[in-house]
Chain A
Amino acid sequence: MQTLVAYVENKPGVLNRVSSLARRLAINIDSLTVGPTDDEAVARMTIVAHTDEKGGHRLEASLEKLVDVLLAENVSGRSLLERDLALIKVQANQENRPHLMDLVKVFRARVVDVAPESLIIEVSGAADKIDGLLEVLRPFGVLEMARSGRISMTRGCDLLRPPTASEVSGLGEQTLSATQPAALAE
């Protein structure tokens, strides 16, 4: 499993380009999350891909070839904070509700909706923690579940930010003409 973080242009079709690239490389995406950043023109993605280190490198380098991808970085193996969010609707009645509440407490999850026959548990954390909670909830009857997919951030001063004006490529300012491309300079 490889985890990649990417900053992309926040506009239609970009998600399609990213996912289409993974499909073309025959890499299965385990989870892909996209969200806005504090720059409204830029979105941040966390991609968890079912591939090895070589595939991770290929995906990273190929992603950066897409015009709309500002930066892609394979963060696998770095010190990472990883979070997944899940909403789990469990069958519950008068009798077992207290027991469920106890379990929820142990997992530091929260009950966010209570109905006569069910309740919804919200849990966030590393994927295996959510898997663990799910395991113990299953005997009660899991009616429905929604998971957000993973978001990741490198710890400490290992910063991954979209490139600022001073770091960007000069491509936008260049002007090439059809008759005088760089390759003809010789």
Chain B
Amino acid sequence: MKLTGAEILCESLTRLGVRHIFGYPGGAILPVYDALGKSKLHHILVRHEQGATHMADGYARASGGVGVAMATSGPGATNMVTGIATAMLDSSPVVCITGNVSSKLLGSDAFQEVDITGITMPITRHNVVVTRAEDIARTLREAFLIANSGRPGPVLVDVTKDAQQASVEFDWDKSVPKLPRKRVRDNHDQAEFDRAVELLNSAKRPLILAGRGIMLSGAMRSFAQFVHSANIPVAMTLLGIGCFPAKDPLNLGMMGMHGEAWVNNAIQEADLLVAVGMRFDDRVTGDLRTYAKNARKIHIEIDRAEINKNVAVDAALIGDARETLDRLLPHMRSCDHAPWLHHIAGLRGDSAVRDIQSLPDSGHLYAAHVINDLWKETRGEAIVVTDVGQHQMWEAQYYHHDQPRTLITSGGLGTMGFALPAAIGAKFAKPEADVWVVVGDGGFQMTMSELATIVQEKIKINIAIINNGFLGMVRQWQEFFYDKRYVATPLVAPDFAALANAFGIRGERVTGRGDVIPAIRAARESAETVLIDFRVEQEDSVYPMVPAGASLNEMIRRPNSPLVETATEP
């Protein structure tokens, strides 16, 4: 059967199980769009190509499958760069398809020509230019394989216009992936494994550090079994949140720069850290010279390049998290860590007893109220997609996730503008889910044009803007480290409710604490997208805070004020 390259591209995506493509058309990708119109693929027209990549990313994070974004050459492709880097830093399986000028024009500075494979080389797992129609099916199969195997990540496939237009014989069965013959390392090291078992069974103050790798490996059940059989408390990374239920008594909460004080102190006092699918990012370790000095370390990690990168470990178990945990499980002796668990409970001090909800209403609305109420109202079952900044940290502290893939957030790159488009992608992946965008007034203004995408696609999500009139996290740093010189952080915003109305979306404003729950309820009951502009306390800060480069136990604590550091545990 003879098909054009463009038709092959659409047919291949369909056969790869793709149903949704987030994209924006243009000259160099037009043949594909023409073929898209004849296919069963659902194309979601975005308002900016950055939005397309974040949507594909949100889709991938919510589903575990591959998200697909599409754009034309030149500016269409370069607009994807931020989204691709976001996916790279958080190991998200995204395939980006870009059109390019005809192969004979490559390198000639033709209209809208850009070397997008050159540009995206360091921020993709792999990228490739396709100049022949007969290579399209095989290349796409390879791209999907690379994107979602091992440690996942983005792959970019740049297809020249002549490759899209040429007609060739299409044979799916013959278009098998032909990836280079790579050596397979035998990563299982029995001595290393035995050492890990020995460390695990002899530790007195062990702590598990749980990261996103657990989710990526689908190891949630194995992990829970491992935790319970070894009876070891668990600290979460931001991206690990959800891979182990927040309500589990052994789940201590989040670690790191804005982690719970008792978690950071427990890390510093532990005699064994068991890192699973996490990479000792600087935001979770603080000063490496003083990080967990009393602890031996075991690192369970699929990516060999992460071993000993930031923290030197005593036993490295390289491989898939689920396989490794399953192999360890039969060797675990149930140890009584009661004294250690009791000690950690003591580290909580009074931060856990002072329940934010039981404090007298000072008339002020704090972001923590909004997020804690959102958690209660949604019974912790919503998919919450956050942006980057203060609200992101408050979400991590006050919304307690029990299910994997229910917190979607840009961790590694910290991309403002991520939330709204990523939530749209998540909604397409999980149409039945209650999807909430939690976003600051700064980040929302970066990609708010995607409100039009919501309206055009007639999807239902809920948008909670945590509006404090500042670029809040930057303001907080200026407050702490720049003597309150608020340069370029006060932020004028439009009337978000009116703006939503202009897009054809219901908008509301909430200024009082008592109005939070009714507004959340009304939004959930509405069949259409609702945007709520929560006007919160302007100069509140996220506590505790480990200043960048400081030791993990050197936290700035909330000064005596009506607000507490954290909510009670769920």
Chain A residues within CB distance 8 Å of chain B? 9, 13, 16-17, 20-21, 24, 54, 57-58, 61-62, 64-71, 162-165, 167-169, 171-186
Contact = CB atoms under 8 A, between A and B. Distances in A.
B309 A183 contact: no
Interface stretch (B70-78, B215-223, B383-391, B432-440): B215-223
Counting from the closest, the 5 A-B pairs by CB-CB distance are A61-B305, A177-B17, A168-B181, A179-B17, A178-B17
Interface residues of B, number: 46
Contacts of A165: 181
Contacts of B118: 16
Nearest to A165: B181
A171 B182 contact: yes
A9 B131 CA distance: 19
Contacts of A20: 121-122
Nearest to A25: B305
8 contacts: A61-B305, A67-B126, A69-B180, A71-B183, A163-B184, A178-B65, A178-B148, A180-B17
Interface in B1-50: 16-19
A70 B64 contact: no
A165 B180 CA distance: 11
B146 A184 contact: no
Given A65-B125, A171-B145, A171-B149, 10 more contacts: A64-B182, A64-B183, A64-B304, A67-B146, A173-B176, A178-B68, A183-B148, A183-B215, A184-B63, A184-B218
A70 B180 contact: yes
A168 B183 contact: yes
A67 B157 CA distance: 14
Given A17-B121, A181-B148, A171 B179 contact: yes
Nearest to B129: A13
Contacts of A167: 183-184
B149 A176 contact: yes
B179 A182 contact: no
Contact of B181 (A21, A70, A177): A70
Contacts of B307: 57, 61
A167 B182 CA distance: 8
Given A176-B148, A177-B16, A186-B218, A67 B121 contact: no
Contacts of B257: none
A58 B279 CA distance: 14
Given A58-B309, A67-B126, A184 B180 contact: no
A15 to B, nearest CB: 12
B94 to A, nearest CB: 11
A50 B338 CA distance: 49
Contact of B184 (A24, A162, A168): A168
Contact of A69 (B93, B182, B216): B182
A183 B270 CA distance: 31
Name the residue in A57, A69, A177 with the highest tally of chain B Cβ atoms < 10 Å from its Cβ: A177
A68 to B, nearest CB: 6
B280 interface: no
Contact of B66 (A66, A168, A178): A178
Interface in B138-159: 141, 144-146, 148-149
